[in-house]
Structure 1
Amino acid sequence: MKVKKKKIGSVIMIFAILLSVIVPVLTATYQSKSYLETT
């Protein structure tokens, strides 16, 4: 049970890291896309 909980925690950590990396990239690409469309 303890090992399973630890595994879930590490998965959540990896997910958080992935989100913190992907979200800024997605927002940057979206902003540049909308900028290109407006000009």
Structure 2
Amino acid sequence: MEQAQQAREGFNALKLNGVLKPASAVAAPTRRRWRSVRRN
């Protein structure tokens, strides 16, 4: 039981990383772009 929960948490962490890392990689350049647009 404990092992299954641990595996599930590990899977969720991998899933979150798989979703959030690409999202932040896409969001970071757009955020920079918006900042420079506001400045000009």
AA at the equivalent of 1:21: P
TM-score (norm 1): 0.75
Segments of structure 1 that go 5 or more residues without pairing to the other structure are: none
Structure 2 gaps of 5+ residues are none
Q: CA deviation at 1:37?
A: 1.2
CA RMSD of aligned residues (A): 1.1
Identity %: 10
Q: CA deviation at 1:30?
A: 0.6
How many Å separate the matches in 2 of 1:25 and 1:31? 11
**1:20 alignment partner, SS class:** helix
Q: Output the CA distance in 2 between the equivalents of 1:14 and 1:23.
A: 14
**Alignment size in residue pairs:** 39
Structure 1 segments of 4 or more deviating over 4 A? none
* Alignment match, 1:8: 9
